[in-house]
Structure 1
């Protein structure tokens, strides 16, 4: 019985935050498409949160059916006149749709339908989904930075582990890192990020030791760590920890809403830059992809962040506030990820539609149906492959294979 309660408790901690955050983010994404389409007078049939069996629905005065479906892991906006899954009919399909609309509703009726809007309007409608994700992230980061302010921890070395690249390079406790490969750094997080993305690549550190200025070179190596949030991961380290040792190593100042917004937008840019760098390293074989996460990994991270927030010191009020701020940051990062993925030039995603519209703008005709169909199939295969790749790493990070091996032994 205790095992059942433990399982239910674990599901509550991991699944509920994940579903809640994902539902909000997907809703905002689809609202981006919806509001931009409404602004251009596009006729819309349906707005659905979730897939599968309908749980609730209501039709508004504009004829839009708003529905909630059983599987809350996505959603969609269905424009009137959609002919196929790609939502980009070819020339023959457009001609057939236009003649049918004129026959049913009269001349000019087609102008209210998405596929007959100018290319630039269709492109804006498609791009509005990912844009809504980035706007949501900016809003969440603005709230977060408005509450917590700007906190800067200097890259001071608090500990050096013997026998590691940092020890062999000559780092000592109390050293202050001032640059990496000639680029100035002022925050400990900058050093950590650079090291994580530089496995097996020598890094030259500018170091201030008392009155001396030194140049030390260390090569990050991959180690296996059990992260409280992400699980078991292989990650690049050089064997030192950073932390404030003197009062001047930590600074704080409150931020007004404008400053918080600027910091939030900067955080989005930094996250996208890190993502692109990491993906580039995967494709060139310099990273294994351990830090990529699929649904299982995101759910695990949501649960881990929730547990960490609730495990802190303080009463219920402080823990609730800590949980709210933690989920704000988590939701902002997931929203950036969803916006980025949707902009990839894969036909089943928003980026694929934009790619088709770019062709249409140049060729002055839609992409042929056979090309769209082939692209749609290839896109599904790519997404399935990416999902399997991420899920494989999720299962490894969760030690599920070791667990199953233990059951079999």
Structure 2
């Protein structure tokens, strides 16, 4: 009996410890993204056929009084809002279907709306992802505050980039590459994503400012969730005495400001990572798909609910940025077409749209295959 029970116990632990946190994280991020499309679309007077969390066969659903079908579908790797006049979940115009719509339906069809309404509806998805991250960070700061340390060097590692650049113990960082810093964490953020890039540091030493140029070295570290990551380091250390580590508490308004600032910092670092990745200067193993996200969600849940919520915030930013890439069928691809339409004062020819959509879909599929390969075999 025990030999039979053990595998089932292991399966139960896997479901509760990994699959449930994964579904929680992904569902929240996808729901907020699609709700952005839905709410702004409704505000613009656009009719909605369906709102789905997941793809494929419907598991659960109901139809509201406006005729919108709300669905929970079988494949929990995304979602969609299908507007009146859409041929499918990618919001492509259904030319034949538009001709068959009644006059009332044509008035609320997505593709008959002014370009600004379509653009606002599409942009709302990523925007809501960013707003979700701001809300999460703001709540976390309001509830828990955060620890900060003065940006002062306590120790310089021998033969490190900092030592070679002439940085000394007792130096206080003023700016990194022209960006002013207030805490030691600010310095770490500006340095960690720039391995191999010469950075200019302005430091305060004995009442005067000095300048040093150091190139961060790529170093493998293990993060709080057990992932092996590569970050840039220059080889300086802070400590309790010089750093004067302290807790900063926030009022609700201050927490919102800090949440906006933190979200902007995450967006900037993510954008910088993607640019370096395209240029071949980042480790492809830093990219992960559903398997890696599920693993991270399980580990985050094991550390506590607040870690899981922080993962929601970080994933939400990533989803928002990826969706703004100018690649059909992503939101950024739609926005690129709407921008062309606004400039040309007429819709882009349907033949061109079709060709670009097919090419974009191929790019998306290749990217998905790439991250799956990274998850399972590549790293």
| TM-score, normalised relative to structure 1 | 0.81
How far apart are the structure 2 equivalents of 1:253 and 1:80?
A: 49
Contact 1:17 1:302 in 2 (8 A): yes
Deviation at 1:347, TM superposition (A): 1.3
TM-aligned CA distance change 1:210 to 1:30, over 3 Å: same
Identify the residue that residue 100 of structure 2 maps to in structure 1.
100
1:146 to 142, 148, 151: 142
Give the aligned CA root-mean-square deviation in angstroms. 2.9
Identify the residue that residue 222 of structure 1 maps to in structure 2.
218
Deviation at 1:3, TM superposition (A): 7.2
How far apart are the structure 2 equivalents of 1:178 and 1:165?
A: 18
Deviation at 1:266, TM superposition (A): 1.2
Deviation at 1:147, TM superposition (A): 0.8
How far apart are the structure 1 equivalents of 2:210 and 2:165?
A: 11
Deviation at 1:155, TM superposition (A): 2.7
Deviation at 1:276, TM superposition (A): 1.8
Deviation string, structure 1 residues 198-250 (Cα, Å, up to 9, x no partner): 2223334344567786554432222333445262333322334434324x622
2:252 to 253, 257, 260: 257
Of 207-216 and 109-118, deviating more is 207-216
Contact 1:138 1:264 in 2 (8 A): yes
Identify the residue that residue 62 of structure 1 maps to in structure 2.
66
How far apart are the structure 2 equivalents of 1:117 and 1:294?
A: 35
2:272 to 270, 277, 288: 277
Identify the residue that residue 316 of structure 1 maps to in structure 2.
none
Identify the residue that residue 49 of structure 1 maps to in structure 2.
53
How far apart are the structure 2 equivalents of 1:209 and 1:196?
A: 23
SS of 1:67's equivalent in the other structure is strand
Identify the residue that residue 310 of structure 2 maps to in structure 1.
329
TM-aligned CA distance change 1:372 to 1:250, over 3 Å: same
Identify the residue that residue 287 of structure 1 maps to in structure 2.
282
Verify: 1:71 aligned to 2:75, yes or no.
yes
1:364 to 342, 345, 369: 345
How far apart are the structure 2 equivalents of 1:8 and 1:44?
A: 38
Deviation string, structure 1 residues 341-387 (Cα, Å, up to 9, x no partner): 11111110111111122222233332222212211121122222333
Mapping of residues 123-134 of structure 1, within 5 Å: 123-134=119-130
Identify the residue that residue 16 of structure 2 maps to in structure 1.
12
Contact 1:155 1:176 in 2 (8 A): yes
SS of 1:83's equivalent in the other structure is coil
SS of 2:241's equivalent in the other structure is coil
How far apart are the structure 2 equivalents of 1:53 and 1:108?
A: 29
SS of 2:74's equivalent in the other structure is strand
Mapping of residues 102-117 of structure 1, within 5 Å: 105=102, 107-117=103-113
Contact 1:155 1:243 in 2 (8 A): no
Contact 1:119 1:357 in 2 (8 A): yes
How far apart are the structure 2 equivalents of 1:128 and 1:65?
A: 20
TM-aligned CA distance change 1:10 to 1:205, over 3 Å: farther
| TM-score, normalised relative to structure 2 | 0.87
Contact 1:234 1:290 in 2 (8 A): no
Deviation at 1:121, TM superposition (A): 1.3
How far apart are the structure 2 equivalents of 1:254 and 1:186?
A: 16
How far apart are the structure 2 equivalents of 1:364 and 1:178?
A: 49
Contact 2:119 2:338 in 1 (8 A): yes
Deviation string, structure 1 residues 19-46 (Cα, Å, up to 9, x no partner): 2011011111111111222223322221
How far apart are the structure 2 equivalents of 1:209 and 1:8?
A: 58
SS of 1:132's equivalent in the other structure is helix
Contact 1:86 1:376 in 2 (8 A): no
Contact 2:82 2:88 in 1 (8 A): no
Mapping of residues 345-356 of structure 1, within 5 Å: 345-356=326-337
TM-aligned CA distance change 1:384 to 1:241, over 3 Å: farther
Deviation at 1:128, TM superposition (A): 1.5
Which structure 2 residue ranges, 5 or more long, are not aligned?
none
Identify the residue that residue 188 of structure 1 maps to in structure 2.
184
Of 204-213 and 21-30, deviating more is 204-213
